A and B are shown apart, each in its own frame.
Chain A
Amino acid sequence: MFKTADKTELNQISLTGLRALVLIGLLIAKPRSFNEIRRAFIDLKIIDEKTSNDILRIDLNTIKLMGCDISRSSAKTDFRYILTKHPFSIKTTKNEISALKKVYNHIKRKADIYLLIEFEEFFRKIINHLCDEESKEALIGVSIFKYYDYDTIKMLVEDCKLRNTLDLTYQKPNAKSECRYQVIAQELVYSNDKIYLHGQNVDNERPIVLNLRRLKNILARRKQEHNFEIKSFKITFLLKNINKDDLTINEDVIDKTDEGYIIEGTYHNEFLAIQRVLSFGARCIVLSPTEFRNTIVEKIKEMRKIYED
């Protein structure tokens, strides 16, 4: 982060100022013990071995007086100084975070999990530079990942890439005890404010969708060891008044007609295909397969019945 001091240049600068800035920089990077700070200063040649520890203590006092909040070095902090606030940290207001949350909520409605992970990484970067715990907590509260173990999510992303087989326990909504599944991880999907793992159930070789908030434990993960065909549900439909954000990566335009675009959609299972088609409302007409088209007609009839006043 900092260059080693060259004694011939030091007369053009303020050595105490240099130590103050370096000290803030070192503590922003990570918590450090008194000896680690001293060692870093010696390595950077801004003090030498003979320099008294009092000089460093005065430097610590100086940056505290300039707005740095530094925890006491104690057994609780592993004898390290932790910088919780500094004059170069970002001061935010509740209204600003609330505006950020509003706009993030709009983005997340049409976002996939990968975009939300990018936002999470971006927020985490900012959090390190916020000046107080309240703002940090408010920013954490913006993200959808506040409900999840983020490290598990990141590992599941890798599992999906590698098509790993997961041995996991899961709490079904109505079941009294946890279920155990062996699942080949396929895709993480953010939908309807929740994150789902789409996979193949090894035991019955059928698609499975797991709500990650009900995932209890991943007991083991193994590299791909099942070679059965991954099943998916394919449909074609006509979509009218298409918007640029309408389609997902699993949906391709295969033709254009006067009425709209012909889309081929590939879904993890029939249930998700039904939900997707219904969400388009009257803009969408299922073309094939015929059985699925009939299923949709039946669903619409059931829904319409509710509104018979």
Chain B
Amino acid sequence: MKTNELVKRNISGMQVIKTLQLLLEDDYTMAQLIEKLNANEKESIFNNSVVSKYINTCRYCGIDIPKIQNKYFVAKLPFGLNLSKRDIELIEKLQMTAVEKLTNKPIKELNSFLNKINKFSNKNIIKVEKDTLDLTKEYFYNAIEEEREVLLLFRTKEMVKCKPLDFVVHKGKNCFKVLYDNKVKNVIIDRLVGLKILGKYFKAEAEQGLTSKFKVTGALAERYSMREHEEQTENKFPEYILITNHGEAKDELFSRLLRYGKHCEVTSPQSYRYEMKSILDEMLVNYGEK
């Protein structure tokens, strides 16, 4: 069997792949790229002309790598994850639900996963030039419609994260009207070199229920299918089965158990049992029965 050292390989093929891997990790300047690529080599084999050639190779394959503010960005990968507008909305739904319902640790894990997806997806970044003005406007309008933030990359190397509002012509100049620092500003497009479309982030408190137990009887006991946070702790079928539920949010749990009608009885904790009783009393009062 051949060892890796003996296998014939194309060195520059490997180096092009390394260059692309690095560009997918983050946005780097040429100097940073050279430094990082040489870091694992015995001697400096990467230089400006070699790395430029490798970036051009990637571009030749259809990988869109604009250079904005001296940094190289991977904007489109022909074999990347091509996320549709709807996919992005689903990602945002995941993020919003996470911040509403989960604690900080899983939110962090989820964001880490979504960042990885984002890294390999075709990103919404565009180099702002005369030739790309129409496309830049289209990106900007999409960001308004989809209620996303944008990152404006200025010729001065400044970067501003803001909320896009409109495209306007102000004093004869094409401008992006944005909300920045709680103030509405008109940014002259000629001052920009790049536009990046960002996502949305929200924060909220998580909600977690207690461990509870309930009996399921009748035909429901036979066909009851356990949730993932549930276990059957007692089986007295056909009389009843006892289910232990770990941490389902209380409102959702109660809503579900009420649907089961007389075939379900909350047994613990006592506070849940008491609360269920109160709900039923209140329901009867609603109908003038108590």
Chain A positions within 8 Å of B, measured between CB atoms, are 1-3, 5, 9, 12-14, 16-22, 24-25, 28-29, 58-59, 61-66, 87-93, 95-100, 102-107, 109, 118-119, 122, 125-126, 129, 173-174, 192-194, 274-276, 278-282, 284-285, 293, 296-297, 299-307
Query: Which of A25, A58, A126, A301 is B61 in contact with, Cβ under 8 Å?
Result: A25
Q: List 17 A-B contacts (CB under 8 A).
A: A17-B15, A18-B16, A20-B13, A21-B61, A21-B63, A58-B10, A64-B7, A88-B20, A88-B24, A91-B116, A93-B109, A102-B98, A103-B101, A106-B100, A119-B90, A129-B80, A282-B283
Complex Cα–Cα for A110 and B268 (A): 26
Query: Which of B14, B107, B279, B287 is A65 in contact with, Cβ under 8 Å?
Result: B14
A-B pair number, CB within 8 angstroms:
231
Query: What residues of chain A lie closer than 8 Å to B93, measured between beta carbons?
Result: 107
Complex Cα–Cα for A38 and B289 (A): 81
Residue of A nearest to B113 (CB): A96
Query: What residues of chain A lie closer than 8 Å to B12, measured between beta carbons?
Result: 14, 16-17
Complex Cα–Cα for A25 and B17 (A): 12
Q: How far is the CB of A116 from chain B (nearest CB, A)?
A: 11
B227 at the interface (CB under 8 A from A): yes
Known: A16-B12, A301-B284. A22 touches B61 (CB 8 A): yes
The answer to whether B281 and A304 have CB atoms under 8 Å apart is yes
Query: Which of B256, B258, B265, B289 is A192 in contact with, Cβ under 8 Å?
Result: B256
Query: Which of B56, B82, B110 is A99 in contact with, Cβ under 8 Å?
Result: B110
Complex Cα–Cα for A20 and B15 (A): 10
Query: What residues of chain A lie closer than 8 Å to B259, measured between beta carbons?
Result: 192, 275-276, 278-279
Chain B positions within 8 Å of A, measured between CB atoms, are 4, 7-18, 20-21, 24, 53-54, 56-58, 60-63, 77-83, 86-87, 90, 93-94, 97-98, 100-102, 106-110, 112-113, 116-117, 119-120, 219, 222-223, 225, 227-228, 252, 254-256, 258-259, 261-262, 265, 273, 276-277, 279-284, 286-287, 289
Residue of A nearest to B262 (CB): A302
Beyond A103-B102, A280-B255, 20 additional pairs, beta carbon < 8 A: A2-B61, A13-B60, A14-B53, A16-B11, A19-B13, A20-B17, A21-B16, A58-B8, A62-B9, A62-B14, A87-B17, A88-B24, A100-B94, A107-B93, A118-B90, A129-B81, A279-B258, A281-B283, A293-B287, A307-B273
Q: How far is the CB of A110 from chain B (nearest CB, A)?
A: 9
Q: How far is the CB of B54 from chain A (nearest CB, A)?
A: 6
Query: Which of B79, B219, B228 is A105 in contact with, Cβ under 8 Å?
Result: B228
The answer to whether A88 and B261 have CB atoms under 8 Å apart is no
Q: How far is the CB of A283 from chain B (nearest CB, A)?
A: 9
Complex Cα–Cα for A129 and B20 (A): 16
Query: What residues of chain A lie closer than 8 Å to B11, measured between beta carbons?
Result: 16
Complex Cα–Cα for A25 and B100 (A): 39
Complex Cα–Cα for A127 and B252 (A): 30
Query: What residues of chain B lie closer than 8 Å to A192, measured between beta carbons?
Result: 256, 259
The answer to whether A88 and B80 have CB atoms under 8 Å apart is yes
Complex Cα–Cα for A28 and B80 (A): 9
Q: How far is the CB of B107 from chain A (nearest CB, A)?
A: 7
3 smallest beta-carbon distances between A and B, as pairs: A17-B16, A20-B13, A99-B109
Q: How far is the CB of A236 from chain B (nearest CB, A)?
A: 15
Complex Cα–Cα for A182 and B45 (A): 73
